Amino acid sequence: MQAKINKVELRNLEIEDYKQLKKSMIESYPEMADSYWGSDDIERLLSIFPEGQLVILVDGKVVGSALSLIVDEKLVDKKHNYQQISGDYKFSTHNPNAEILYGIDVFIHPNYRGLRLGRRLYDARKELCEQLNLKAIVFAGRIPSYREHAKKMTPKTYIEKVRMKELYDPVLSFQLSNDFHVLRIIKNYLEGDEESKEFAVLLEWNNIYYDESPRLINLKKNIIRLGLIQWQMRPLNNVEALFEQAEFFIDVVSGYGSDFALFPELFIAPLMADYNHLSEAEAIRELARHSDPIRKRFQEFAISYNINIITGSMPYLENGNLYNVGFLCKRDGTSEMYTKIHITPNEVIHWGMKGGSQFKTFDTDCGKIGILICYDVEFPELSRLLADEGMNILFVPFLTDTQNGYTRVKHCSQARAIENECYVAIAGCVGNLPKVNNMDIQYAQASVFTPSDFAFPSNGIKAEATPNTEMTLIVDVDLNLLKELHEHGSVKILKDRRTDLYEIKKINS
């Protein structure tokens, strides 16, 4: 990553974006620097199909875009080139009543490649295709590395070798990895494309939800996928080794399309081994020096893997006070801190930790969530206040050394799911750290708990990991079931409270 990124935003293109769009287009296609879209072209495109034009912004700067039309399937089936499919560059081929979303351009500024921003644009196109109930996405992809092999093989052979991963093409390899399949090769597609020898590959992604009859499509995401990481405590040589291990798990859960990755409380404790010659209080304060670099790297992971990451917790020094905190690193590049409110006697005696004073729900692209660290879930007032703020999912990173401690966290989490009519996801560390004082052994079983009603498992457990084994747990939760429960459940706990007799409120809001 070239520089620190504060925020990534995906939205529809606006005409005010044009100057930045033009600059990024020119720098993305240096071999065709004079072939960028003019402001009149973009204005015309926005006037006929505004929802089909997407941009990626990093810290307010346009660094990528995906432009599209809706065209007739018969037009796609015919032999065509870029000029013809784009209606002589005037977009006269656009037909809002047609079946195919045709991609006419997609690019990412060279300085921002490697962050999987192109994947976000492709995923957004797929979502748009589903929302508009279109049959498929089709576009003709360039094969810019073909020039290096043109004397030795035909385009057909080249494409097959790329498909089999014997060769790498920066455009085609990416498109094939995004579930597009080859329809055919097009000759003389884009005039002046010397890198591809003017060949292109017509690619297609089919919308499995396409329905020939008109229907209403719910645009809001209601199925949320959770990726829980049951972290094995192991010796780590340095913070880079921690990042390598963490990235492995983030890659795994994001590869399954998870919306959230949840790490356990104090999962960075193996780094304390370097300070074992110090007192326990001094050692954990040395560990706190890693917290800001860890937050920054996890922000990068959230962007690169397009996933919201809950970083468990870690020690954090502020004005001489030691807190137990974590960070919600969102996939838009922003981050927010959460703090452990209730500190256990062990944390006070051995480390001199203090409890935080602020807690709240967090707005995410998957709705409102709450995060409580371990011991905090044993105090029902906190989660009830979060439920009052609209929380649908409560995440609980924990660290327990015995099965007794785990049992407290487990059963309190189950109670919180029932009484607040929400999902509760918990994840902890397993294994042992013989060379780290006060962090000897760990016991955990990652789980997702649900309310107790007919729409949910009868035991209130959506899924559980194998106890004391390093693994991930991938779980889908349905927010629509919570909405149904709130209004039509066998009991309506949140609605039936006797607020005429009692109430819970924050002292400092």
Q: Which residues are catalytic?
A: 265, 340, 374
Residue type, 51: E
Q: Which of 468, 409, 460 is nearest to 443 (CA)?
A: 468
Q: Which of 138, 136, 129 is nearest to 183 (CA)?
A: 138
SS3 label, residue 399: coil
Residues 388, 394, 398, 402, CA torsion sign: positive
The token pair that represents 40 in the structure block:
């009149």
Longest distance between any two alpha carbons in the chain, whole Å: 84
How many C-beta atoms surround the C-beta of residue 384 within 10 A?
17
Q: Do 270 and 430 form a contact (C-beta atoms < 8 A)?
A: no
Residue type, 252: V
Phi/psi-derived region of residue 15, left when phi > 0, alpha when psi is between -120 and 50, beta in every other case: alpha
Q: Produce one character per residue of 221-259: b if its CB has 16 or more CB atoms within 10 Å, e if not.
A: eeebbbbbbbbbbeebeeeeebbebbbebbebbbeeebb
> Kind and range of the H or E element at 142?
strand 136-142
